[in-house]
Structure 1
Amino acid sequence: MPRAVNFALPFESACSPDRDAARLRNLTWARRLGLVTNAVDEQRYLAWDIADLTARWLPCASGAELDLGIDAIVVGTLIDDQFDGARALSPDQLSECCDMLLDVLRFDERYSPSCVLAAALADVWERQRRGASREWAERAALHWRWFIEAFPKEARWRQGTALLSLDSYLTLRRESGLVSMMVDLIEKANGFETTARARQVPSVQRLLVVAFDIVDTMNDVCSADKELSRGDVHNLVLVLQAEQGLSREAALAEAHDCMRRWCDEYVRIAARLPEDCVQQGLSSEETDAVLRLVRGIEAAIGGHPDWYRSTGRYDTRFPLGEAAYTEDLMRPLARAR
């Protein structure tokens, strides 16, 4: 169902012309790996339209590069739905499930996936690190681990009685939001790598944090109603309401103000990055990669709102107690064959 999405972003929107063909290729892939096995889940899967999200996140990608991006974001999306509050898993149970996925990221050629979702992650991870430097692959693995390990952390917070402060929430959200992995896809899809040294430049570090917060907050604004209906309060809008005693309307307004401030900061940081890179002693190749990443993030953020206007991902019809995705993707792999 179309959504009224109005984000004041200073970045232009574009979309890969390979989107529609890539959508069909992705569905074939998902069926082959046992991720889509019934009509109900296929309808929901198609309604999310992760192909459209990715084609706007990676507007210059096509073919295998776009396919990898879509498949990777699909796996992250399905992990999120498998571990959501509807399944009522305890933090310890979640940790056990997460360990099955974390094993995929061990750089062990002898690894054999134990469940359907681990097999899908393994497929994506092998393609993601193929041809990459060891340094880049280790950072990409770390970003996947951040995302997966955040689920037990969120579950422990939900079980507690203390309110999570805005700063604490943002720190955890930067891990749970998958955006760090999606930023890695910008480099992978466009055929370049930023070095660890470049990532340590303070202004580069801050620019990435600001980008994460912008994208995560867009998501929180669009998903607040759905998450509240499912009993999930891990959302910036709801944190603002609780911490500052705001109405829903005031909390939404503050979230939009946050995004505007972060966008302004992003633009200021990006403008001075060439000089900062020189001052930090980066090579011309390292500086060029940083600037390519900056442009890639701008394109990704610019296209993001268009996906929210059409996706069915944030439909509120599935209340607490009903799984957002019916199939148990943590089932043993042998049962999927």
Structure 2
Amino acid sequence: MNQTETAKIVIPRLYCPFPTSVSPYVELVASNTFEFLHKYQLLDSPEEERHFARYKMAWMTCRTMPQAGFELLCCIDNLYSWLFVLDEQLDHVTPSTAYIREENYLQQLIDGFSYVLKHKVSPVDNKFFHALADICVRLDALSRPSWQSQFLISVQATFEAAIWEAKNNKNREKHPTVAQYMHMRLFFSAANIGTDINELATGVWLPMYVLQHPDMVHLTALSRRVVCWANDLFSLRKELEHGDEHNLVMMLKYHHNTTLEEAVLMAASIHDDEIREFVSCRAAFPDFGEELNKRIQIYVDGLETMVAGFFYWSITDTPRYNPY
């Protein structure tokens, strides 16, 4: 679709009742990330530098975890920016770089990333591997060993989901089911990594019997889901202009045989319903005793802050989407 056609798409005002704020460190975090990207030569030209600066990634990080300290904010913004640059390379291929979407090449990348995550050094001379090793060393100093183990699993899941997404993008004639897409979207979007970071952002450690309680698992999944559905709606115009139909709206349109306008409304309804479900689930959360309840409140506040941070960054800070 061209810009004239996508300009006609109307995105409803989505429901987000959670407050938002921005860390006072945001400008310093942005400068730190630019230094990090330059150090590892992840931006190849002045044009790419302007492209990256325009999207204000540091504002996303500093909205999703505004209570965090400067060192952690820099580390996480470096990570998110590293993922962004990598994703941009995979999304915008040319005939000469089409090989990077091939499954064998992606698997080699994943094997290299997995090695870095485990050993904190690059197995070969690769700028993305070196940059990830730098991030991992600093994350280890800011986290518990059990969190590091979970982070490794989450990053592995994200990379494996990226292969699944690449396969589906390549085979345009066969669409995943809505259920398949909604499950995998939480991983290739890296929303699972975002919720993992909540422990570091809030500074709250919860015992495994709380983290694995069905209500906490459900709250965590809902926080991931609403971030993804909002992003699919906000990014719809941009993605359709690039011929990318890997989006909840397009899955609903295809499988429910609706118009694009009807599918947009369906996706918005799913988002808003799941926000309300999050609020209801939180209100009915079981009692774990006074001391644990306080920690749980801070932790779940952090999930709300993450949801609101992505939401308001998308509509307030970055020109990447311009949904309204």
TM over 0.5: yes
Q: TM-score range by the shorter chain?
A: 0.7 to 0.9
Q: d(CA) in 2 for partners of 1:121 and 1:15? A: 26
- How far did residue 135 of structure 1 move? 1.5
Residue in 2 that maps onto 1:77: 84
Aligned length: 307
User: Is the partner of 1:308 in helix, strand or coil?
Assistant: helix
- How far did residue 193 of structure 1 move? 2.6
Residue in 1 that maps onto 2:6: none
The answer as to whether partners of 1:5 and 1:305 remain within 8 angstroms in 2 is no
Deviates more, 1:245-254 or 1:109-118: 109-118
Residue in 2 that maps onto 1:334: none
**Deviation per residue, 1:253-288 (Å, 9 max, x gap):** 11111111101110111112242x46xxxx944x54
Residue in 2 that maps onto 1:50: 57
- How far did residue 5 of structure 1 move? 7.9
Letter in 2 for 1:191: G
Q: Any gaps of 5 or more consecutive residues in structure 1?
A: 316-337
State yes or no: 1:267 paired with 2:279: yes
Residue in 2 that maps onto 1:307: 313
Q: d(CA) in 2 for partners of 1:162 and 1:85? A: 21
Tell me the TM-score normalised to structure 2 length.
0.87
The answer as to whether partners of 2:151 and 2:196 remain within 8 angstroms in 1 is yes
Letter in 2 for 1:155: A
- How far did residue 145 of structure 1 move? 1.1
Letter in 2 for 1:141: L
User: Is the partner of 2:285 in helix, strand or coil?
Assistant: helix
Report sequence identity in percent: 22
Q: d(CA) in 2 for partners of 1:244 and 1:109? A: 46
Q: d(CA) in 2 for partners of 1:37 and 1:156? A: 27
Q: d(CA) in 2 for partners of 1:24 and 1:179? A: 25
Residue in 2 that maps onto 1:319: none
Specify which of 244, 251, 268 is matched with residue 256 of structure 2.
Answer: 244
The 5 Å alignment of 1:224-243 reads 224-243=236-255
Q: d(CA) in 1 for partners of 2:129 and 2:206? A: 28
Q: d(CA) in 2 for partners of 1:297 and 1:188? A: 12
Specify which of 164, 170, 173 is matched with residue 153 of structure 1.
Answer: 164
User: Is the partner of 2:68 in helix, strand or coil?
Assistant: coil
- How far did residue 112 of structure 1 move? 4.3
- How far did residue 201 of structure 1 move? 0.6
- How far did residue 168 of structure 1 move? 0.7
State yes or no: 1:31 paired with 2:77: no
State yes or no: 1:128 paired with 2:134: no
The answer as to whether partners of 2:33 and 2:78 remain within 8 angstroms in 1 is yes
Residue in 2 that maps onto 1:22: 29
The answer as to whether partners of 1:207 and 1:266 remain within 8 angstroms in 2 is yes
Q: d(CA) in 1 for partners of 2:154 and 2:296? A: 18
Specify which of 147, 164, 170 is matched with residue 176 of structure 2.
Answer: 164
Q: CA RMSD in A?
A: 2.4
Q: d(CA) in 2 for partners of 1:92 and 1:256? A: 36
- How far did residue 221 of structure 1 move? 0.7
Residue in 1 that maps onto 2:214: 202
User: Is the partner of 1:273 in helix, strand or coil?
Assistant: coil
Letter in 2 for 1:122: A
Structure 1 residues 145, 271: closer, same or farther in 2, change over 3 A? Answer: same
- How far did residue 132 of structure 1 move? 2.4
Q: Any gaps of 5 or more consecutive residues in structure 2?
A: 1-9
Q: d(CA) in 1 for partners of 2:137 and 2:29? A: 19
Letter in 2 for 1:146: A
**Deviation per residue, 1:214-271 (Å, 9 max, x gap):** 0011111111122222232221111111111122221111111111110111011111
The answer as to whether partners of 2:23 and 2:62 remain within 8 angstroms in 1 is yes
